Amino acid sequence: DAKTTQPTSMDCAEGRAANLPCNHSTISGNEYVYWYRQIHSQGPQYIIHGLKNNETNEMASLIITEDRKSSTLILPHATLRDTAVYYCIVRSANQAGTALIFGKGTTLSVSS
């Protein structure tokens, strides 16, 4: 799996958009970008994933650069409940039974 680099921490005001960057410069053509988050003391939660096109769901948007070397997770209107550790994971589709590799992630703190 390609290595990912994320900032250690970020702050965001409640109601504002939170933009979380991820660098994955060694990503290969068949690797997807996944985002998960882990709210304190809970199990990780899937947010979104994409290959090369931008994606949007009810939780967030994922913007992947044209060269696919980086991506940004956007929470359009952050709330206090979005305070969590966010993990960017790059993974091939052809990995039956393998673990998701969670790195250190970005700790997002949303404040009022």
Residues that bind another protein (CB under 8 A): 32, 34, 41-46, 49, 87, 93-105
With respect to another protein, which residue has the nearer C-beta, 42 or 112? 42
CB of 102 to another protein, least distance (A): 4
Least separation, in Å, of the C-beta of 94 and another protein? Answer: 6
Minimal distance in Å, beta carbon 41 to another protein? 7
Query: Would you say 70 or 87 has its CB closer to another protein?
Result: 87
**Intra-chain end-to-end CA distance of the chain, in Å:** 37
Taking the least distance from each CB to another protein, the nearer of 39 and 80 is 39
29 vs 43 by CB, closer to another protein: 43
Q: For the chain, give the secondary structure using H, E and C.
A: CCCCECCCEEEEECCCCEEEEEECCCCCCCEEEEEEEECCCCCCEEEEEECCCCEECCCCEEEECCCCCEEEEEECCCCHHHCEEEEEEEEECCCCCCCCCCCCCEEEEEEC
